[in-house]
């Protein structure tokens, strides 16, 4: 409310999503709504009235014993106001009637252009005010997007948020370790996915933060592979990109390990290269450094490796300049991490890459993906490797909150040796 000075912020919670016919996906609140309220029920709307007579208002579902018998407890307006700190709360069916009065003559801020029904609700309220006050125009004279204001707040995590993210990272890390100890040739990718989800759920995670990628062999070169239905073959690699969501915060880890006990020499070459790029990229993260620095560091390290391995020709400068590295490394080196796996917050300010601040959380995830091509030595074909960790920008440097996940070749081969002995 301080950030807007005066006016009214209107935030809608996410709609429920049908899975098929009359069954619903498990409810996931809107991240902005939850960030400002901690309230996670569908059919809820909050109004934050800023300025001299400031107040906070929640509209939510009424108690309904019969429906609660089927679909679970509804908090109800009175209790929701107490628990979540709203000054006033009303049944959701009073929202349309009360809205015009609350917003008249006030600037409106809302999450514009996300759902038709949110946009329409605001414009219908404006129309209702016009229709009522023919002589004096009492309608809001400006409607603004609230996104950037909330996104900038969400970008810097406080200690409470960081503690949840550290716990989420630990659970995901344990899930990856579980997979490293479970995998054997002959199993199917979906069986490995099941192990990971088991570890998430067993530890109180409400959901994976995104659909897990369990990609063996050539599938590891498909960046968003989620079919997860191939059989694991000795000699191939398994790339797992999986992270849980805990108390509304995401984690995001990728590891790539051998389905047998050892990396083959060509797999080792590519693995060491990606690992070197990842460590170099992480090492340059600290407050004041530009967001693009880890990416620039990663592409230079990878480009040198591509030259050394005979995958690219020319100098590092020319490979970077001509973007030749894109043949093998075609995605960014990371993203903000928070309530959403690809979290909110601008990457650039006035066209310049922004600078890191303490409390920001990001992933660092370079990779190398080699599709079959006649100019490329065959022993590199179908090797896809990504290594991804979650980093908090902190006063003491980059804090790798996923660091308990085995990462060096020795650490991983030790795990794989144990797995084959179990």
> Which of ligand GLY, Mn ion, none does 30 bind, CB closer than 5 to 8 A by kind?
none
Question: 40 or 254, CB closer to ligand GLY?
Answer: 254
Q: Are 102 and 53 spatial neighbours (Cβ–Cβ below 8 Å)? A: no
By the 8 A CB rule, do 294 and 284 touch? yes
Which of 211, 247, 272, 286 is CA-nearest to residue 35? 247
Burial class (CB in 10 A: 0-12, 13-18, 19+), 65: exposed
User: Where in 183-212 is the site for ligand GLY (CB under 6 A)?
Assistant: 210
**x-or-dash pattern for Mn ion, window 209-248, by CB under 5 A?**
--------------------------------x-------
Residues 210-229 that bind ligand GLY (CB under 6 A): 210
Closest separation in Å from C-beta 335 to ligand GLY: 6
252 forms part of the interface with Mn ion (CB under 5 A): yes
**228 — alpha (psi -120 to 50), left (phi > 0) or beta?**
left
Told to judge if 198 belongs to the known catalytic residues of this protein, a careful annotator would answer no
**Burial classification of residue 313, based on how many CB atoms lie within 10 Å of its CB (0-12 exposed, 13-18 middle, 19 or more buried):** exposed
Q: Is 333 in the site for Mn ion (CB under 5 A)?
A: no
Encoding tokens for residue 308? 């050394």
Please confirm, yes or no, whether 193 is among the known catalytic residues.
Answer: no
Q: Decide if 224 is catalytic.
A: yes
241 included as an active-site residue: yes
**7: helix, strand or coil:** strand
Please say which residue, 255 or 300, places its beta carbon nearer to ligand GLY. Answer: 255
Residue 61 or 407 with smaller CB distance to ligand GLY: 407
Choose between 236 and 241: whose C-beta lies nearer to ligand GLY: 241
- Is residue 41 part of the contact set for Mn ion (CB under 5 A)? no
Residue at token pair 């509804």: 74
Q: Is 30 in the site for ligand GLY (CB under 6 A)?
A: no
Q: Which of these is catalytic: 111, 193, 236, 241?
A: 241
Name the minimum Å distance from CB 352 to ligand GLY: 24
For residue 285, give the nearest of 297, 276, 273, 275 by alpha carbon: 297
Is 160 labeled as catalytic in the residue annotation?
no
**Toward ligand GLY, which CB reaches closer, 199 or 252?**
252
What torsion, rounded to 10 degrees, do the Cα atoms 155, 160, 166, 170 define? -130
In this structure, the strands spanning 389-394 and 361-364 are antiparallel
Catalytic residue check, 84: no
Grouping H, G, I as helix, E, B as strand and the rest as coil, residue 216 is strand
Query: Residue 110 to residues 2, 47, 122, 361: CA-CA distances in angstroms?
Result: 15, 10, 9, 25
Q: Choose from Mn ion, ligand GLY, none: what does 154 bind? Cβ within 5-8 Å by kind.
A: none
Asked if 25 is an active-site residue, the reply is no
Q: At what angle do helices 116-132 and 95-103 cross, to 10 degrees?
A: 60
Q: Binding of Mn ion at residue 363 (CB under 5 A)?
A: yes
Catalytic residue among 25, 96, 198, 342: 342
CB of 345 to ligand GLY, least distance (A): 15
Measure the CA–CA gap between 118 and 110, rounded to whole angstroms: 9
* Catalytic one of 34, 335, 413, 416: 335
CB of 211 to ligand GLY, least distance (A): 9
Note the helical H segments in 27-115.
31-37, 65-71, 77-84, 95-103
State in angstroms the smallest separation of the CB of 383 from ligand GLY. Answer: 19
Q: Going residue by residue from 308 to 337, which x/- string records binding to ligand GLY, judged by CB under 6 A?
A: ---------------------------x--
Query: Is 22 labeled as catalytic in the residue annotation?
Result: yes
Match 């344990």 to its residue by tokens.
174
Q: Scanning residues 340 to 399, which ones bind ligand GLY (CB under 6 A)?
A: 341, 365, 388
Active site residue 148: no
Residue 161 touching ligand GLY (CB under 6 A): no
Q: How far apart are CA 58 and CA 379, in angstroms?
A: 61
Sites of contact with ligand GLY (CB under 6 A): 210, 241, 252, 335, 341, 365, 388
Sites of contact with Mn ion (CB under 5 A): 241, 252, 254, 363, 388
Task: Give the catalytic positions in this structure.
Answer: 22, 224, 241, 252, 331, 335, 342, 365, 369, 386, 388
């Amino acid at each position: 409310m301080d950030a807007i000075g005066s006016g009214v912020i209107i935030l809608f919670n996410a709609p429920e999503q049908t899975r098929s016919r009359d069954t619903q996906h498990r409810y996931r609140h809107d991240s902005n709504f939850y960030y400002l309220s901690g309230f996670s029920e569908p059919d809820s709307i909050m109004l934050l009235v800023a300025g001299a007579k400031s107040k906070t208002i929640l509209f939510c579902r009424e108690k309904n014993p019969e429906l609660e018998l089927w679909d679970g407890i509804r908090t109800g307006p009175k209790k929701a106001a107490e628990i979540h700190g709203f000054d006033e709360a009303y049944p959701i069916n009073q929202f349309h009637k009360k809205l015009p009065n609350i917003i008249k003559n006030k600037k409106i801020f809302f999450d514009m252009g996300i759902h038709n029904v949110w946009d329409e609700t605001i414009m219908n309220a404006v129309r209702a005010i016009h229709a009522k006050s023919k002589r004096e125009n009492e309608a809001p004279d400006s409607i603004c997007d609230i996104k950037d204001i909330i996104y900038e707040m969400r970008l810097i995590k406080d200690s409470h948020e960081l503690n949840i993210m550290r716990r989420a990272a630990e659970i995901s890390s344990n899930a990856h370790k579980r997979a490293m100890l479970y995998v054997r040739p002959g199993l199917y990718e979906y069986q490995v996915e099941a192990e990971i989800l088991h570890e998430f759920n067993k530890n109180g995670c409400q959901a994976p933060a995104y659909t897990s990628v369990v990609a063996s062999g050539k599938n590891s070169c498909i960046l968003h592979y989620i079919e997860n239905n191939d059989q694991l073959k000795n000699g191939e690699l398994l790339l797992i990109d999986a992270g849980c969501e805990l108390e509304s915060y995401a984690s995001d880890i990728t590891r790539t390990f051998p389905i047998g006990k050892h990396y083959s020499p060509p797999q080792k070459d590519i693995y060491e290269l990606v690992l070197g790029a990842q460590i170099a990229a992480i090492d340059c993260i600290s407050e004041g450094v530009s967001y693009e620095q880890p990416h620039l560091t990663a592409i230079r390290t990878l480009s040198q490796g591509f030259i050394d391995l005979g995958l690219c020709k020319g100098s590092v400068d020319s490979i970077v300049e001509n973007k030749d590295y894109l043949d093998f490394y075609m995605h960014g080196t990371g993203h903000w991490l928070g309530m959403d796996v690809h979290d909110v917050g601008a990457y650039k300010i006035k066209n310049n890459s922004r600078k890191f601040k303490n409390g920001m959380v990001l992933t660092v995830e370079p990779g190398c993906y080699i599709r079959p091509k006649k100019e490329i030595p065959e022993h590199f074909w179908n090797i896809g490797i990504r290594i991804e960790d979650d980093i908090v920008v902190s006063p003491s440097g980059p804090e790798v909150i996923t660091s308990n996940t085995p990462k060096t070749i020795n650490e991983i081969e030790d795990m794989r040796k144990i797995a084959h002995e179990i």
